[in-house]
A = this chain, B = another copy of it.
């Protein structure tokens, strides 16, 4: 069906085009009788606003985008749900884009979003370092809020969880359990989350000044499959060098490690202890319930969305803010085995 437009509605109701627009946008400025006539015309013609035309006129759309590293990662789905809630309350629409930890895909998405003149972008960027794409958006006046990534940059807001602290918490815990050979599993290191959590762990180790050592095994991504492969590598080591505990950059990796170790006959935590990160819903339901560093996921999303809307409303008067949440260690069976001296 050739969709009816505002002009046909006007003709059908015997009013001018501008009046129909007023009925739609400022109903109180038009007399009740005419208003009703217009509304009737709208329903009989099945008229539906054309958003392209509105946007064109307005100069920007009413949608907000969130670009995440992995749509299938429960951490991000929770962040998305938090953001969604706030955005929808504001009458806007949230579209979810998946960069898949791939810079090229991220760039492509940002280009498309820029063409669409989106109202704003929430993003967990793939890399750290300079981000020309994001700067371009900001130059164009599109608000950008960094999610799960703190920054000192003055030209954008951010919400984050203190990943260095999170790394510390996990490492301190494992050291407290007496572990001497510990591995950090995660990657790619270009992800700031991965790097920061490692930095925290390394710092905790340093502070102790003991003989414990931290080996790093870099994975290609933060998925269950990557965790499985990483576990295989650990198992390939001579037993005397094999870590007695692993700290994983996220829970998906931890679950992969757990699966692979168990499949190969090792016991968790007796042979190898595991601490994950994110405390996703499935951590608690795992074969051995997983210790994990918990992040306030949906609050992260909600706050990010609020900052974005605030910036979009207030325009130039806006002062960028950087919100940092504190993580929290949740200890479960995967790391809790009481143990004495370890060798």
Chain A positions within 8 Å of B, measured between CB atoms, are 1, 3, 46, 48-53, 55-56, 61, 71-72, 74, 77-78, 80-81, 84, 88, 93, 95-98, 105, 109, 111-112, 114-117, 136, 139-141, 224, 255-256, 258-259, 281-282, 284-289
Q: Are A259 and B284 neighbours in the complex by a CB distance under 8 Å?
A: yes
* Chain B residue nearest in CB terms to A55: B52
| A112: B residues at CB distance < 8 A | 51, 93
Cβ contact of A285, chosen from B61, B136, B255, cutoff 8 A: B255
10 shortest A-B CB distances, which residue pairs?
A52-B55, A72-B77, A95-B95, A96-B96, A52-B56, A51-B115, A282-B282, A255-B285, A51-B116, A52-B52
Q: Are B48 and A52 neighbours in the complex by a CB distance under 8 Å?
A: no
* Chain B residue nearest in CB terms to A256: B285
Q: Jot down 21 A-B pairs with beta carbons below 8 A, ordered by A.
A: A1-B139, A46-B136, A50-B56, A50-B115, A51-B115, A52-B52, A52-B56, A52-B61, A52-B117, A71-B77, A71-B81, A71-B84, A88-B105, A93-B97, A95-B95, A96-B96, A224-B281, A282-B286, A285-B286, A286-B287, A287-B287
Q: How far is the CB of A155 from chain B (nearest CB, A)?
A: 14
Q: How far is the CB of A305 from chain B (nearest CB, A)?
A: 14
Q: Are B140 and A1 neighbours in the complex by a CB distance under 8 Å?
A: yes
Complex Cα distance, B60 from A53, in Å, reads 11
* Chain B residue nearest in CB terms to A65: B95
Copies of this protein in the complex: 2
Complex Cα distance, B115 from A282, in Å, reads 38
| A77: B residues at CB distance < 8 A | 71-72, 77
11 extra interface residue pairs, beta carbon distance < 8 Å, beyond A71-B71, A74-B74, A255-B285: A48-B140, A52-B52, A52-B53, A52-B61, A52-B116, A71-B84, A72-B80, A95-B95, A258-B285, A287-B287, A287-B288
Complex Cα distance, B282 from A256, in Å, reads 10
| A95: B residues at CB distance < 8 A | 95-96
| A52: B residues at CB distance < 8 A | 52-53, 55-56, 61, 116-117
Q: Are A74 and B71 neighbours in the complex by a CB distance under 8 Å?
A: no
Q: How far is the CB of A227 from chain B (nearest CB, A)?
A: 10
Q: How far is the CB of A287 from chain B (nearest CB, A)?
A: 5
Q: Are B114 and A48 neighbours in the complex by a CB distance under 8 Å?
A: yes
Q: How far is the CB of A93 from chain B (nearest CB, A)?
A: 6
Complex Cα distance, B105 from A84, in Å, reads 12
Complex Cα distance, B88 from A61, in Å, reads 22
If the complex has contacts A48-B115, A56-B52, A285-B255, are A72 and B61 also in contact, measured as CB distance less than 8 A? Answer: no
| A50: B residues at CB distance < 8 A | 56, 115, 117
Q: Are A71 and B56 neighbours in the complex by a CB distance under 8 Å?
A: no
| A84: B residues at CB distance < 8 A | 71, 98
| A46: B residues at CB distance < 8 A | 136
The residue among A46, A116, A259, A284 with the most chain B CB atoms within 10 A of its own CB is A116
* Chain B residue nearest in CB terms to A282: B282
Q: Are B259 and A3 neighbours in the complex by a CB distance under 8 Å?
A: no
Q: How far is the CB of A136 from chain B (nearest CB, A)?
A: 8
Q: How far is the CB of A326 from chain B (nearest CB, A)?
A: 24
